[in-house]
Amino acid sequence: MLRIYSACLLILLYLPNIWCMSDGKRETLKAEAASLFKHGYEGYMKYAYPADELRPLTCGPLYRDPDPNNVGINDIHANVSMTLLDVLSSLPVIHPSAFPKAVKLVAETVSFDQDVKVQVFEMTIRALGALLSTFQLLDDLPDDPAEQYIKLHLDENDHDDSWIWPSRKDTTIDLKQYKGRILELAYDLGKRLLPAFEPITGIPYARVNLRKGVLKGESIETCTAGAGSLLLEFALLSRLTGDSRFENLAHQAYLAIWNRRSPQNLLGNTIGTHGHWLAPGMSGVGAGMDSYFEYGVKAGVMLDDDTYYDIFYDSYAAIQTYVRTTDGFIYRPVQTRLLQPASPSTIDSLSAFLPAMQVLAGDVESAIKSHLVFWNLWRKYDAMPESFLWQERKVEWTGYPGRPEFIESTYYLYQATKDPFYLRVGEKILHDLKTRTKTKCGFATLKNVMTGEQEDRMESFMLSESLKYLYLLFADIPFPNSNTVFTTEGHPLKMPASLLKAPSSTRRAIRKGESSTCPLYRPFAAGGISTRTGIIVGIEGREDYDYARSLVYGLDSSGVEVEDGSRIWYDGGICRTSSEPKFAFEIVLSPLDASKSTAVPPEDPSPGPSKVDQDSMTGDYHITDIEGLRLGVRWRFDGKGYDVVNIGPHRIRQGQNVIIRDPAMRDHLPIQATSPVDSASPPELLLRFLSYSSSAASQNGQLLADGGQILLHAVGATATFGTDFVSFTSSKTETGPATWGIGHKPLRLIIPPEIEGRPYQGCSAMSLEWLGINKTSTDPFVLMVSRGGCTFLEKLMVAEDIGAIGILVIGQAPIKEGEPIPPEREVEGGFEEGLIRPSAEFDESHPRFRNVKKVGMIYTEWVIGEVLRKMVEGDDDKRKVLGIEILNIDAQDGSVHPTMGNRPTSQINEKSRTLEGGLLMVGEWPIMNLKVTDNALRFKQSNLPEHV
């Protein structure tokens, strides 16, 4: 699908390597992040401790509000030095010299015996998580105090006597003596939160008094995130103390929420402790819901429990199917019942956690896209506004309290891709935090991101997460693995191997053959060569980078950075709006004739072993009777197609195959064709243009495979006659005549001189010398001509006479407002514009047209021709050598996908859906783990529900 924008073509004229960040600069940024963290921590200790928070503008303490309705303050103010607690796990990493005294102060002064009502969720993630993380750190220290001193890197720091205990001369600090007390505090806090779980539904109250329990008249309203994001802290507390109540209650709460999901596996954002969803009945990934999904995947990692994985991936499939927009960039609220987007539709700062979760789940491609939207929000406002009306492109809620979610996602994506783009994002964030929020004694909340107005509050997560994740980003410290995760408050928690629960024999049998993998992120390379040679194009070189910008800035050139003249913005360009394949749906296998309206496929909601059976050796599932089976199908994170994920109640795990053995398939499906069908060119292709220096081309003009610099990508329409652009061999390795097709090496693009001020139209043959081609050269080339003057067929015949194997036809210039429309461009409803597919009628048996198949024709927009002509302007000895390459419009790495065996999709007969290798198809995409035992079968389109 194409959309024509007023300005949407970003021409790339750079080597991305020059944007790599040097180690020295990264070290400088790391030191600056650490300095800012120390500034905030020491400001709190000097001006606010032992209060829970600092007032950064007036440099004083912030206490509980006497007004009990001010839950924004009171939910986290428990009179327990909350900021000190929350940063406790960060100090050993960023400010180790302050850690000994901090541990001592917490162990000796903090008490949760407070007559205060607080939020269960906030106390869990900020205080309980910090204590458990600190306990594990202390537990891992050597018993010898001198070795503790070294392991904590206290010997490598300049100590300030006011921040350590007892003095800088004492190198035998025994911090491990406080381990028991820290766990005791965690256990005490956990027990004080237990009264919140009184409701029989398992859904806890949102708030509890730490001394008196649930107060009379307490509100039954809670949120999905608040009730369902206690798993990590509560499970670890149970296993460290042997008190199973915490894990059991958190598990029950998590399941109680999930068991009330909609038929589409969507969750609401507000629920009552009585178990009913409350108004407004919206689903999404933002405020009130965010960490429920996060804790699903992280509980799977930390606890090694596929129960949570299963719930997470089911919920994530619903998000990708109903919450995500079709372009794959926006995750907006939707009504849980009507499945309609909210109006007005917003995205909020809390939902910026999503890319980090997507990385952890293995869906890096989706993470890159969702992160780009938040990146453009940040760079437009130099902060992250609390909520943004994305359709109107304006801020709804202007505040920014220093939230860490976007920074956390930047850190995760850098770890997944190692693209220096994310370091530059971090550099921008660091600069803005320093210039917009730093005060004399801490960091202020931004009340208005557009005016810069500040508010006298510093939330604890500014230190414990925002500045810590920036430090981890620049320090290139990998995120934890092996049953270790960062909580939603940034505290590292791990489940020791000795405390992991072994799966039951039944669960082990079900998981037989499972092979969980995350696809490796590979940026595409110049020339379509999937190797590490050549120019690697990073995030900023992606085709959709500028599209994400337009979602926030609009469709003009605002937000486009011209840094050093190496980027050029052209008005009137074209951006292809991507449309993501439907993520999850059901297919029905049935021998019925789907063309008959009376043929209603039956449904077997719980197929037994007579129909579906699991191979105890391989873990694969065998279908011996397809009647009534509904198969859940989901998109693969590696982009190769789909996988079956369930057959009714039978869950199919990654690595397990579904094999159809039903003889009924023979009776109702066509039999394999005797020979492969001819391929047909797709109507649209992606063109990649490259520039070569004289040293990157041979003396006779042949282009080297790896020497080109990418200039731009454009969409082109193929002619209905001429060369078939889909071929079954690659000219990268073939030794026969060169051809112009998908996945083949770049060919030289010849742009003829103008004739009397007008571009060459290709209606008459010109000499090779006039075209600038060496007479002795036998290298293939593509000729660029302009539309008009003669028919498309005549242009192709002239190009064949000249010796070109391809012809690039440039469309006509746009008609300016007020200009008359030429008669030849008039069409019903206006005038012709955009891409067209050149066509021609001719007798293929006529001798004159015997060579039509030797030359390929592609049509592209006028603006592309203008850009290319500007690139070759100059003296003859300075003219650039240009190359042109064809890519599949959905594959920028030059590959053709999906593949059936060793053959590309375009070889599949659209009428009969011939299969090679036994894979079944849904539209253009194969179901990778669904196999037919007889490879002689070919499969018509599956009987799909109407919503597919």
* Residues in binding site: 488
Of residues 86, 290, 314, 419, which has the active-site annotation? 290
Active site includes 122? Answer: yes
Active site includes 386? Answer: yes
DSSP H stretches of helix in 140-230: 145-151, 179-193, 224-228
Q: Residue 629 contacts by C-beta under 8 Å, 6 or more apart in sequence?
A: 588, 589, 604, 607, 611, 612, 623, 647, 648
Give the span between the Cα atoms of 331 and 328, in whole angstroms: 8
- 713: buried, middle or exposed (CB in 10 Å: 19+, 13-18, 0-12)? buried
Give the span between the Cα atoms of 487 and 299, in whole angstroms: 10
Give the number of C-alpha atoms closer than 13 A to the C-alpha of residue 763, restricted to the C-beta side.
9
How would you write 219-280 as a 3-class SS string? CCEEEHHHHHCCHHHHHHHHHHHCCCHHHHHHHHHHHHHHCCCCCCCCCCCEEECCCCECCC
* Annotated binding-site residue numbers for Ca(2+): 488
434, 383 Cβ separation under 8 angstroms: no
Q: 943 - beta bridge partners?
A: 588
Give the span between the Cα atoms of 916 and 900, in whole angstroms: 5
Three-state secondary-structure class, residue 349:
helix
Could you give the C-alpha distances from 856 to 482, 490, 777, in angstroms and in order? Answer: 53, 56, 20
Active site includes 934? Answer: no
Give the span between the Cα atoms of 934 and 141, in whole angstroms: 60
Residue 348 CA, chain-centre distance (Å), reads 17
Give the span between the Cα atoms of 867 and 9, in whole angstroms: 10
DSSP H stretches of helix in 437-541: 461, 468-475, 505-510
Of residues 306, 348, 382, 386, which has the active-site annotation? 386
Q: Residue 910 contacts by C-beta under 8 Å, 6 or more apart in sequence?
A: none
Of residues 52, 86, 122, 314, which has the active-site annotation? 122
Give the span between the Cα atoms of 137 and 141, in whole angstroms: 7
Could you give the C-alpha distances from 598 to 141, 631, 947, in angstroms and in order? Answer: 72, 22, 19
∠ CA 6-12-17, nearest 5°, is: 150
Give the span between the Cα atoms of 257 and 232, in whole angstroms: 16
852's tokens: 């039509």
Residue with tokens 């995130």, as numbered in its chain:
225
Active site includes 405? Answer: yes
403, 429 Cβ separation under 8 angstroms: no
Give the number of C-alpha atoms closer than 13 A to the C-alpha of residue 869, restricted to the C-beta side.
16
What does the DSSP 8-state code read for residue 403? -
Of residues 86, 305, 306, 405, which has the active-site annotation? 405
122's tokens: 């906030």
Give the span between the Cα atoms of 140 and 39, in whole angstroms: 28
Residues taking part in catalysis = 122, 290, 386, 405
